[in-house]
């Protein structure tokens, strides 16, 4: 299966889960919290993920494992979605489904996640200034993750979803090199 088709399938599951979440009156944030718990548990145990995706283990055994492992950390609807993925032999889509559900929840809440890369650690005043400017430009609540990468020399690199805005000196030097070599 190609990546585009996989993404389409994951989006469909995420959208269906969001629709059911809304129709049942469950806050999207609560469902997202439970899905993050599922994701954290799965990522902390390679054996658990392997068991859930292993065709040798019966669907009934997998569903019992889901009830035992996720009973405290995920609501019934989230557990039922995991069981549906088992029944449809699509558990390997779980991380992509969670990611797409997160995007839908952000859209519903008018929130955007931005990754900002800078050459040096920024102080809180500068971080707040960047966050405020992003809020003004995007007209959305902004969650910003900062990371330091000295290789960019100076400037900032913004990653918003699939979009990248690169104002780094490194990028400008690379662009200049390309122009000179033409």
Confidence of residue 92 (pLDDT cuts 50, 70, 90): very high
pLDDT for 136: 93
What confidence score (pLDDT) does residue 2 get? 66
In the sheet where 111-118 sits, what is the strand order?
Answer: 141-148, 111-118, 156-160, 163-166
Burial string for 58-87 (b: 16+ CB within 10 Å, else e) reads: eeeebbebbeebbeeebbeebbebbbebbe
pLDDT value at 3 more than 80? no
Q: pLDDT tens digits, residue range 10-42?
A: 999 999 999 999 999 989 999 999 999 999 999
Averaged pLDDT score across all residues of the chain: 91
Task: Tell me the C-alpha to C-alpha distance, in Å, between residue 170 and each of 8, 29, 41, 140, 156.
Answer: 35, 38, 39, 29, 10
| Mean local confidence (pLDDT), 73-94 | 94
Q: How many Å from the N-terminal Cα to the C-terminal Cα in the chain?
A: 40
Instruction: Domain ranges for the chain, please list them.
Output: 3-107, 112-181
* Residues sharing a CB contact under 8 Å with residue 112, sequence separation 6 or more, in sequence order: 106, 134, 138, 140, 141, 142, 143, 160, 161
Distance of CA 28 to the CA centre of its chain: 14
Mean local confidence (pLDDT), 65-80? 93
β-bridge pairing 163-166 and 141-148: unpaired
Confidence (pLDDT) at 179: 87
Residue 169 pLDDT: 86
What is the C-alpha to C-alpha distance for residues 29 and 32, in angstroms, rounded to an integer?
5
- Please name the residues in contact with 81: beta carbons below 8 A apart, sequence gap of 6 or more: 13, 17, 97
At 58, the pLDDT band (50, 70, 90 cuts) reads very high
The crossing angle, in degrees rounded to 10, of helices 28-44 and 94-108 is 150
Rounded average pLDDT over 114-136: 93
Q: How confident is the model at residue 5 (pLDDT cuts 50, 70, 90)?
A: confident
DSSP character at residue 89: T
Distance CA 125, CA 139 (A): 20
Residue 172 confidence (pLDDT) above 70:
yes
The CATH-assigned architecture of domain 3-107 is Orthogonal Bundle (1.10)
């Amino acid at each position: 299966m190609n990546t585009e088709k996989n993404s389409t399938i994951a989006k469909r599951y995420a959208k269906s889960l969001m629709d059911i979440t809304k129709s049942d009156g469950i806050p999207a944030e609560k469902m997202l919290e439970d899905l993050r718990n599922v994701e954290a548990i799965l990522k902390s145990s390679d054996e658990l993920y392997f068991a859930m995706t292993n065709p040798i283990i019966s669907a009934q055994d997998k569903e019992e494992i889901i009830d035992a492992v996720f009973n405290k950390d995920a609501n019934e609807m989230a557990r039922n979605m995991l069981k549906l993925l088992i029944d449809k032999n699509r558990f390997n889509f779980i991380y992509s489904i969670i990611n797409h559900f997160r995007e839908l929840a952000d859209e519903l809440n008018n929130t955007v996640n931005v990754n900002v890369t800078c050459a040096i650690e920024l102080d809180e005043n500068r971080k707040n200034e960047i966050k405020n400017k992003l809020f003004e430009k995007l007209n959305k609540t902004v969650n910003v993750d900062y990371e330091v990468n000295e290789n960019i020399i100076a400037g900032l690199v913004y990653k918003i979803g699939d979009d990248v805005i690169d104002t780094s000196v490194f990028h400008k030097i690379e662009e200049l090199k390309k122009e000179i070599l033409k």
